[in-house]
């Protein structure tokens, strides 16, 4: 059984249909009967957060959408078309994924380079994103530690993904390794990006407070065999500021999500 999906007249951005995953020829399944529908919200976008216990398949779901892994059974559709080499989405990982032998500028422009865009045009567009994520002045540094901090390296990855495809952004616990100050700054940056691009963002985190602050909708996976057992809509203002974390409604939602997480964790 999976959470109810309500299909409307809106355009479907991401759709996972009856996904199953087995690594032993069908003797056992780590994912079974998983469905997910993310629809377009014009002039707003979607910020969907995926949560669940460790090992429930959160990262695997992102890998399906990114085209990095195929499920044993089921369909993965992006804008109504199956994921393939021509229809895939870039992803921001928890581990720093920039190419350390390339500059920040070249890393951000990499997707356009693969698409055959001229160097002048791709550098111009890359600089726009570099400025937006607060890396102006660092564009000719190599994308590696200690030339750049952890937070700066994640900004490189976000800018690269946005330039490659500003409509969909996949993020797998991207702030997990950051200190609290940098993590809060990155949360606010992500809110700014969402407002500017109206992107569809799929975000994985274990942090309930982060999920409630960022998310438009939360989807909670039960443990294997996994499926989305609960869906919580976060009815907070779309223009999120850090001050909202002092709002009683925010605290109430945090408790609601915590209770849901524990409830789903007990499902067999």
CATH architecture under which domain 1-89+166-268 falls: 3-Layer(aba) Sandwich (3.40)
The pLDDT tens digits of the residues spanning 129-156 come to 999 898 999 999 999 988 899 889 989 9
Give the span between the Cα atoms of 158 and 155, in whole angstroms: 5
Start-end ranges of CATH 3.40.50.300 in the chain? Answer: 1-89+166-268
Q: Is the pLDDT of residue 103 over 50?
A: yes
Question: Which residue did the predictor score with more confidence, 2 or 161?
Answer: 161
| pLDDT tens, residue by residue, 243-259 | 999 999 999 999 999 99
Q: Let me know the angle formed at the C-alpha of 105 by 182 and 148, rounded to the nearest 5 degrees.
A: 35
Q: According to the model, what pLDDT value does residue 4 have? A: 45
If one compares 7 and 125, the residue with the highest pLDDT of the two is: 125
- pLDDT of 1: 35
pLDDT tens figures, 69-78: 999 999 999 9
Burial 130-143 (b: 16+ CB within 10 A, else e): bebbebeebbeebb
Preceding amide of 157 cis, omega within 30: no
* Residue 2 confidence (pLDDT): 40
What per-residue confidence (pLDDT) applies to 8? Answer: 55
Q: What pLDDT score was predicted for residue 40?
A: 86
The whole-number average pLDDT for the span 190-194 is 89
pTM reported for the whole predicted model: 0.89
Mean pLDDT, residues 32-42: 92
Name 194's Cβ contacts closer than 8 Å, sequence gap at least 6. 45, 47, 201
Return the structure tokens found at 205: 């985190």
Residue 64 has pLDDT above 50, yes or no: yes
The answer to whether residue 10 scores a pLDDT higher than 80 is no
């Amino acid at each position: 059984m999976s959470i109810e999906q309500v299909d409307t007249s809106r355009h479907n951005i991401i759709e996972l249909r009856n996904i199953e995953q087995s690594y032993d020829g069908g003797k056992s399944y780590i994912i079974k009967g998983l469905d997910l529908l993310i629809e377009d919200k014009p002039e707003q976008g979607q910020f969907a957060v995926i949560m669940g216990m460790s090992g429930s398949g959160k990262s695997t779901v992102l890998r399906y959408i990114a085209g990095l892994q195929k499920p044993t059974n089921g369909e993965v559709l992006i804008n109504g078309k199956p994921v393939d080499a021509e229809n895939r989405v870039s992803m921001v990982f928890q581990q720093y994924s920039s190419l350390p032998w390339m500059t920040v500028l070249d890393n951000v422009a990499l997707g356009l380079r693969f698409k055959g865009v001229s160097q002048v045009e791709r550098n111009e567009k890359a600089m726009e994103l570099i400025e937006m994520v607060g890396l102006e002045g660092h564009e000719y540094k190599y994308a590696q530690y200690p030339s750049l901090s952890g937070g700066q390296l994640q900004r490189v990855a976000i800018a690269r993904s946005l330039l490659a495809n500003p409509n969909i952004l996949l993020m797998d616990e991207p702030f997990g390794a950051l200190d609290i100050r940098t993590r809060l700054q990155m949360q606010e940056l992500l809110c700014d990006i969402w407002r500017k691009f109206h992107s569809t963002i799929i975000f994985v985190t274990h942090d309930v407070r982060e999920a409630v602050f960022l998310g438009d909708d939360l989807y909670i996976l039960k443990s294997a065999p996994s499926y989305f057992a609960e869906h919580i809509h976060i009815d907070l203002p779309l223009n999120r500021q850090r001050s909202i974390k002092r709002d009683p409604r925010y605290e109430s939602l945090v408790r609601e999500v915590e209770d849901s997480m524990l409830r789903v964790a007990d499902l067999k």
